[in-house]
């Protein structure tokens, strides 16, 4: 509204340029009107608001005092249609309606209307009075309606922005929970499942080392000190694959691993790939009915292809496509998030082959 009412005032001042060229009192009145406008609008544009005191000064000076002095000195044609002195009243009421509280705005508008009515009657311009009063009131009304509309739109925009911020915060919390669920599923839950099904000797040194690592992870998680790995740099692919193999051997799985021309991977990619391989090996130990798995990893330029195969019982992928946190979240979703892909090929009695590729 500052810009709209400022342009409205500028159009009225342009009408007074010719009158000011005559010098004398007309120039002084024009200068006073210009100064009042500058005091009102220039600080307003910098501060983003009119300012109550500046509005009242403009109403009293441009809206009331200038037409009174013009009438008293006879330096402006009050009775003439489109007189710049009288037009100033319309921009004064518009600014008051846009920037003052409703009661104060009504008082300011009433004051300008009263002063302009007296000036018109004194100048013998009763016929022009009706149209001029309509201009004063309609300018104020339009400014009021437009100002309230813009204010309401601004409030709605702020509310929408706040809702978006809350939604993003909720999404971040959900993503954090999903990441924690995946980590717990792939580590602690896999270990507890192995113990519950009596698939491993709990006193075996490799298994005890795995339990110690996962206990340390849980402590960090509870204390909110779990430092996220993979924030930058590169990690050798063979390193994360060997960590996955070591973890699988800790729960009693024999892994035959073969590597060829493995590249260094971005740390977030290496972390997610290692977690997906870990889950694939966990699935072999817990669900395939075999204690042996075959891991093959081959570099593809800057990318990598990894396969985890077993000769276990297999399953019908059509019946389990949407089931299970392991396949859906720990493998497929992890690879998709880093721009990779995962594929599972299995059939009852024919074993299972998990293929991981990055990039897809």
**Residue 225: predicted pLDDT:** 42
Q: Mean pLDDT score of the chain, rounded to an integer? A: 82
Contact (CB, 8 A) for 335 and 342:
yes
Instruction: Specify burial of residue 127 (Cβ count, 10 A radius: 0-12, 13-18, 19+).
Output: exposed
pLDDT at 231: 46
**Domain annotation covers residue 200:** no
| Across 104-118, 119-133, 180-194, 293-307, least confident range | 180-194
155 shares a domain with 277: no
The pair of structure tokens assigned to 243 is: 């960590």
- Could you tell me the residue range of the domain that residue 87 belongs to? 2-159
Q: What is the enclosing helix (H) or strand (E) of 313?
A: none
Q: Evaluate whether residue 223 is within a structural domain.
A: no
Indicate the residue among 127, 159, 191 that finishes a domain.
Answer: 159
In Å, how far are 70, 75, 78, 79, 86 from 25, measured between CA atoms?
Answer: 8, 7, 14, 18, 16
pLDDT tops 80 at residue 82: no
Q: Which residue, 171, 9, 170, 183, is CA-closest to 87?
A: 9
Question: Are both 155 and 232 inside the same structural domain?
Answer: no
Together in a domain, 239 and 148: no
| Phi and psi angles of residue 256, each rounded to the nearest 5 degrees, phi first | -100, 110
Percent of the chain scoring above 90 in pLDDT: 20
**Residue 181 domain-assigned (yes or no):** no
Q: What is the pLDDT of residue 42?
A: 83
User: Each residue of 303-323: pLDDT tens digit?
Assistant: 999 999 999 999 888 776 544
- Between CA 119 and CA 117 the distance in angstroms is 5
| CATH code (residue 310) | 3.30.565.10
> Residue 334 to residues 182, 229, 255, 324, 358: CA-CA distances in angstroms?
9, 15, 22, 14, 11
The count of other CB atoms within 10 Å of the CB of residue 173 is 10
Strands 254-260 and 341-346: unpaired
The pLDDT assigned to 221 comes to 62
Given this model, what pLDDT does residue 305 score?
96
63 DSSP assignment: I
**Number of CB atoms found within 10 A of residue 145's CB:** 12
- Domain limit, last residue, from 144, 159, 174: 159
In Å, what is the CA distance from 321 to each residue of 10, 190, 310, 317, 360?
Answer: 70, 21, 19, 6, 20
Residue 22 phi/psi, 5-degree rounding, is: -75, -10
Exposed e or buried b per residue across 340-357, where buried means at least 16 C-beta atoms within 10 angstroms of its C-beta: bebebebeeeebbbbbbb
Shared domain for 121 and 246, answered yes or no, is no
129-152: pLDDT as tens digits? 788 788 889 889 998 898 888 888
How far is Cα 80 from Cα 75, in angstroms, rounded to an integer?
A: 12
Packing angle of the helix pair 237-249, 267-287 (nearest 10 deg): 20
Q: Could you tell me if 117 and 236 lie in one domain?
A: no
Q: Of 159, 178, 195, which closes a domain?
A: 159
For residues 122 and 241, membership in a common domain is answered with: no
Q: Kindly state whether residues 284 and 149 are assigned to the same domain.
A: no
DSSP assignment of 9-23 equals HHHHHHHHHHHHTT-
Comparing 200 with 34, which gets the higher pLDDT? 34
Number of domains within the chain: 2
């Amino acid at each position: 509204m500052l810009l709209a009412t400022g342009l409205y005032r500028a159009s009225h001042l342009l009408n007074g340029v010719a009158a000011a060229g005559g010098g004398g009192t007309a120039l002084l009145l024009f200068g006073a009107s210009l100064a009042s406008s500058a005091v009102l609008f220039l600080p307003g544009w910098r501060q983003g608001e009119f300012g109550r005191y500046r509005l009242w000064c403009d109403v009293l000076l441009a809206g009331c005092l200038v037409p009174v002095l013009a009438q008293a000195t006879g330096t402006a044609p009050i009775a003439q249609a489109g007189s710049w002195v009288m037009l100033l009243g319309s921009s004064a009421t518009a600014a008051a309606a846009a920037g003052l509280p409703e009661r104060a705005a009504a008082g300011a508008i009433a004051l300008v209307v009263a002063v302009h009515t007296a000036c018109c009657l004194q100048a013998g311009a009763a016929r022009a009075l009706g149209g001029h009063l309509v201009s004063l009131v309609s300018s104020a009304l339009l400014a009021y309606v437009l100002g309230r509309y813009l204010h309401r739109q601004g409030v709605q925009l702020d509310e929408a922005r706040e809702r978006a911020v809350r939604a993003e915060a909720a999404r971040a919390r959900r993503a954090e929970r999903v990441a924690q669920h995946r980590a717990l599923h792939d580590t602690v839950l896999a270990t507890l499942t192995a113990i519950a099904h009596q698939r491993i000797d709990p006193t075996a040194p490799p298994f005890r080392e795995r339990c110690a690592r996962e206990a340390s992870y849980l402590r960090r998680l509870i204390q909110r000190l779990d430092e996220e790995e993979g924030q930058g740099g590169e990690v050798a692919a063979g390193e994360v694959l060997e960590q996955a193999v070591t973890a699988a051997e800790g729960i009693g799985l024999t892994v035959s691993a073969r590597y060829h021309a493995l590249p260094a991977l971005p740390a977030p990619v290496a972390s997610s790939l290692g977690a997906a391989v870990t889950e694939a090996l966990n699935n072999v130990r817990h669900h395939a009915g075999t204690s042996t798995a075959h891991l093959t990893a081959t570099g593809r330029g800057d990318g990598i292809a990894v396969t985890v195969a077993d000769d276990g019982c297999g399953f019908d992928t059509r019946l389990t496509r949407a089931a299970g946190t392991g396949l859906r979240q720990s493998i497929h979703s992890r690879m998709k998030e880093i721009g990779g892909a995962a594929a599972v090929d299995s059939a009852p009695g024919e074993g299972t082959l998990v293929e991981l590729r990055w990039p897809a």
